[in-house]
Amino acid sequence: MGKIEKRHHKKVDRGDLQQNLSEKFVWAIAYGSCIGWGSFILPGDWISQSGSIAAAIGITIGALLMIIIGVSYGALVKHFPVSGGAFAFSYLSFGRYVSFFSSWFLTFGYICVVALNATAFSLLLKFMMPGVLEHGKLYTIAGWDVYITEIIIATALLLLFTFITIRGAQVSGSLQYYFCIAMVVVVLLMFFGSFFGSGFSLSNLQPLAEEKKGWFTSIIMIVAVAPWAYVGFDNIPQTAEEFDFAPNKTFKLIVYSLLAAAGTYVLMILYTGWLSSRGAENSDLWVTGAVTQQSFGYIGLFVLAVAITMGIFTGLNGFLMSSSRLLFSMGRSGIMPGVFSKIHPRFKTPYVAILFLGALTLIAPWLGRTALTWIVDMSSTGVSVAYLVTCLSATKLFSYNKESNTYAPIYKTFAIVGSIFAFIFLGLLLIPGSPAALSTPSYIALIVWLVLGLAFFVVRYPKLKNMDKDELSRLILDTSQQKVDEILDEPDSEPTQTKA
């Protein structure tokens, strides 16, 4: 009996992450991760799919839906400000097995974004200096020629950001902040400068919506990409243990980051739209780059390249940081191998997790852009699963019962609505024929990753099954199982007693 007692109340080692992330750094991690390279590369695709104004409306609605989902993240961080965010929340409400699988997909989703940003930098250089990088062709994958020069550039970039992330959250956070400020300045400069561009005309915004599809379908097609377009706001909860401010400010930072991201997307859609002559639209080139070069020459293209470079850097930095915290939290609990929880003696960062993830992303440049895009499309599913599980966790945690320890009708309502939206987003990805349905190669990549997850789960199952529940709660949630049970305990409603 004494032995059991001792085991249940022993002090557990949760590592020693430093609390040195300020509010502005955390905002920058989220905003920079949401934007990445997408807002500068994709507007032309969205305009041709949906029309300029329908695309702008769709991406704005997407941000508002993400804010509704973000309420659950903010509310849960307020109660449990720990590393690992979605992993901790899924464990809280659904236990070790569900948390394993939801985190398995989310970690991969984050890593895919890191990989895609690294290869995007090579694409940018290829556009800026055509022919310069096309030396040392190795092979072709899915129609994409892979060159050794592109691999070297992407690898160097990944190694640089792996090193930066190991150096510490404050270094990563401050760099992220300055990258974001530079990106915002350049976007505003380009947007207001576009009024004086040689190709500027409001008539270029026509058609406002794709004529054959109509307004509703045109808008829904863009809303469907919201989980991918705004993935990154959920990086905030991953680093909660390193906040140097009160965790109840989390939701405010989520809202600010999503509104800033939506604003950036909309400005770049309008910029691309009203500078697009028919010639630029029909060009095989990247449309935003083509219209910039057409209106402002190579100086304008250089300014745009600065914005994209900042977007790529913020995506690399933000997701490498958050995915390492997710893996650290899983390693610390024993759900993943414990080696991932090792903290650097000097920089106080989970350096083994960072090195492992950095090494994993080094495979990406060898896959070719087409094959990598299939994997990234699949990873959107993992992100949507994390949104759904987090909202369901908040639905389970918060209560309409006034006698409950977690009485919070507003949080409960938003969690239910957020769960519905997250479920719809997941359906849009997985149901064949939907506007955002995965391609066949993406489905195959999803099945392969699921099979790998099941294989790893079978290997880890004996250890997972025998883990002490109280110790797990202390390691993952930084509180005892008894307190967790008290929080989750829902009292019976007894009208007579309440009246009395």
The per-residue pLDDT string of the chain (500 residues; one tens digit each, 9 = 90 and over) reads 343 333 344 455 555 677 778 899 999 989 998 987 788 888 888 888 888 999 999 999 999 999 999 999 999 998 888 888 888 899 988 888 888 888 888 888 888 888 888 888 887 887 777 777 778 889 888 888 888 988 999 899 999 999 999 987 778 888 889 999 999 999 999 999 999 888 888 888 888 888 888 888 889 888 888 888 898 898 888 888 888 888 889 999 999 999 999 999 999 999 999 888 654 444 445 788 888 888 888 888 889 999 989 888 888 888 898 889 888 988 888 888 889 989 988 888 899 999 999 998 898 889 887 777 777 777 778 888 889 999 999 999 899 988 888 889 999 999 999 999 999 988 888 888 876 788 888 888 888 888 988 998 888 888 888 888 888 888 888 888 888 887 777 665 444 443 33
Q: How far apart are CA 90 and CA 223, in angstroms?
A: 26
Which residue type sits at 97?
Y
Residue labelled with tokens 């947007």: 191
Q: How far apart are CA 344 and CA 353, in angstroms?
A: 11
107, 326 contact by CB (below 8 A): yes
What pLDDT is recorded for position 259? 95
381, 426 contact by CB (below 8 A): yes
How many residues are given for the chain?
500
Which residue type sits at 269?
I
Write phi, then psi, for 109 (nearest 5 degrees).
Answer: -60, -45
The CA radius of gyration of the chain, in Å to the nearest whole number, is: 23
3-state secondary structure at position 98:
helix
What pLDDT is recorded for position 126? 79
106, 117 contact by CB (below 8 A): no
Nearest to 275 by CA among 43, 486, 62, 61: 43
Report how far apart, in Å, the C-alpha atoms of 290 and of each of 266, 299, 301, 313, 381 are.
18, 13, 9, 22, 32
For the chain, counts of helices (H) and of strands (E): 21, 2
Write phi, then psi, for 282 (nearest 5 degrees).
Answer: -85, 0
Q: How far apart are CA 102 and CA 387, in angstroms?
A: 10
Supply angle C-alpha 161, 361, 148, rounded to 5.
95
Could you tell me the two tokens for 8? 């249940």
Nearest to 180 by CA among 358, 14, 335, 27: 27
Q: Say what the pTM is.
A: 0.86
110, 453 contact by CB (below 8 A): no
Nearest to 100 by CA among 456, 356, 375: 456
3-state secondary structure at position 134:
coil
Q: How far apart are CA 286 and CA 125, in angstroms?
A: 13
Could you tell me the two tokens for 210? 């794709």
Strands (E), 319-379: none
3-state secondary structure at position 147:
strand
**Phi-psi region at 210: left, alpha or beta (left = phi > 0; alpha = psi -120 to 50):** beta
Q: How far apart are CA 134 and CA 138, in angstroms?
A: 10
Q: How far apart are CA 83 and CA 9, in angstroms?
A: 22
> String of b and e for 237-269 (b: at least 16 CB within 10 Å)?
bbbbbbbeeebebbbebbbbbbebbbbbbbbbb
39, 206 contact by CB (below 8 A): no
Could you tell me the two tokens for 253? 């930072």
